[in-house]
Copies of this chain bind each other. A is one copy, B any other.
Amino acid sequence: MHHILIVDDHPMMAIGLQSIAKTVIENSTFTLAYTFTEGLDALAKQPADLLILDLAIPGTRGPEMIDSYRAVQQDVRILVCSGRDELMNAPICLHRGANGFLHKNSFDGEAVTAIRAVMENKKYISTKVKDAMLSNLMEGKAMQTDPAASLTPREREVLGLLLTGKWLKAIAEELNVKISTVGTQKNRIFKKMKVDNIIDLAKKFWYLEEKTADHL
């Protein structure tokens, strides 16, 4: 008898995952949660054998979420399921303590493999990620990191506001700093992210946009 908690802000995706998990783990019960805090509460109320976690749920900053859930139940198996760039995020999540990383574009066969592996206390990453990590290793390159990892907290804050389409003036007012300050931050963000214009920046962080697109 196993209990599985699925945290995903897309209910239909959660149901898809549940449907797949049911075929892998017999005799299982499920809780579906649709926000970060809802998920935390659910885990606090009932320990889970498996936590399937969407990275991109609103009000969170991605991989850091893993820590929060581990803090509630230290030994929970965590399978991150994200639509964000796999090559970038899988290593980050595993490094942060996840047991597996499953891309949302994966076919159900891969989902089955991932769930099975994690339930057997093994780590799971896709072959694609394994290969990439291996070839990075052989070329002596450091592991792929979050593109925003090199940004300072303040820069990330400005990044978020820039992606809402706000003007520098509005951002400056919101943050209570001078416009020139925001200009400098924007400049540094562009340089660090190796982009030249706001459109390319937005594309790099398209996955953050999906949430906002709903209430245009």
Contacts and interface: CB of A to CB of B under 8 A. Distances in A.
Interface in A164-216: 164-167, 195-200, 202-204, 206-207, 209-210, 212-216
A196 B111 CA distance: 41
Given A199-B165, A202-B199, A203-B209, A214 B19 contact: no
A15 B22 CA distance: 12
Contacts of A111: 11-12
**How many monomers of this protein are in the complex?**
2
A13 B11 contact: no
Contacts of A86: 214
Interface in A1-48: 9-20, 34
A20 B166 CA distance: 39
A103 interface: yes
Contact of A199 (B14, B103, B163, B214): B163
Interface in A49-103: 81, 83-88, 103
Interface of A: 9-20, 34, 81, 83-88, 103-108, 111, 162-167, 195-200, 202-204, 206-207, 209-210, 212-216
